[in-house]
Amino acid sequence: MKVAVLGASGLVGREMLKVMAERNFPFDELRLLSGKGSAGKTCTYQGKEYTYEEAADSSFEGMDIVLGAAENAVAQRFAPAIKKAGAVFIDNSSAFRLDDDVPLVVPEINPEDAFKHSGIIANPNCVTIIAAVAVGGIAKLSPIKTMTASSYQAVSGAGRAGLYELEEQVKQYAAGEELTVDAFPCQIAFNLIPKIGNITDNGYSKEEMKLQNEGRKILHMPDMKVSCTCVRVPVLRSHSISINLLTEEKICVEEARKAIAAFPGTVVLDDAANDQFPTPLLTSDQDLVYVGRIREDLTNGGIALWCCGDQIRKGAATNAVQIAELLLNK
């Protein structure tokens, strides 16, 4: 088994290596591919030193699996070479997610789709993964008609630059200095920014439309309608989502709670008496999606809930490694 990580020096790429080590992902050869800026630098993986190589078409020859942790342009640039080499490209970018011949996979929900690939398997958007896992148990009881969601997305969703900017702004604020704004359109420390991604003609951002477009494909519910608002919040890691959903058949709160608790990859934390609910800090640096505040939606009799999950791990790196494990186990 020969594995390459494309974008290995980035935030998600490094997390993929961490997850692979934790899960004892088997390989005979590991190739770490990066851009020109990181080429020649080294990192240590399971006690062995590896050197980042600048990605080229020839980099994929002999590889069996390529884990993609690079942006759209890089994924599109190298996808033909990866397929030509005979490797399976598990891509974390949004370049191929909605292509008809590319499976979009969350292993807890639609693992069988992974085996319908023609060389590329897409990893969904981080918010989509977390939300889909949170509602996956309910979706097994009855198809979802509508979903209204608001996401509260950590700055690490914007990469290392987002993490750095929040940390620096907090330090600058404490020192009484002028705050530097670069990675985000305005100050993020002690603030909220209700726009992630470019706004489209319908008034929603591309990030917001992903929950509907990708969610339909993953859940096999082509008629599901989603209204989403994505908000950047001054949290370092782990996205949170408030979800209200309406199913075709009426589902009571206790049925929903049991279905969520029984669904793989979820934990129900919903103890109002002791103020125990999912939070970003609690759900950081792990792979489960925590769900709480499960209650009836008073506007339409549906289900309302709150969920949190680490968007770098389950929302990106871990989900990709899980897809690779599906292929190995098959």
Residues marked active site are found at: 126, 239
Q: Which two tokens stand for residue 302?
A: 């549906």
Q: Is 276 helix (H, G, I), strand (E, B) or coil?
A: strand
Alpha-carbon span 135 to 268, nearest angstrom: 12
| Kind plus residue range of the DSSP H or E element containing 58 | none
Q: Do the beta carbons of residue 75 and residue 15 sit within 8 Å?
A: no
Stated length of the chain = 330
CA 2 to chain centre: 24
Q: Which two tokens stand for residue 151?
A: 């996401």
Closest by CA position to 99, among listed 81, 76, 77, 133: 76
* Strands 48-51 and 2-6, sheet pairing: unpaired
Q: Do the beta carbons of residue 156 and residue 162 sit within 8 Å?
A: yes
Amino acid at site 52: Y
Q: Is 268 helix (H, G, I), strand (E, B) or coil?
A: strand
Alpha-carbon span 326 to 328, nearest angstrom: 5
Alpha-carbon span 258 to 22, nearest angstrom: 30
Q: Do the beta carbons of residue 260 and residue 253 sit within 8 Å?
A: no
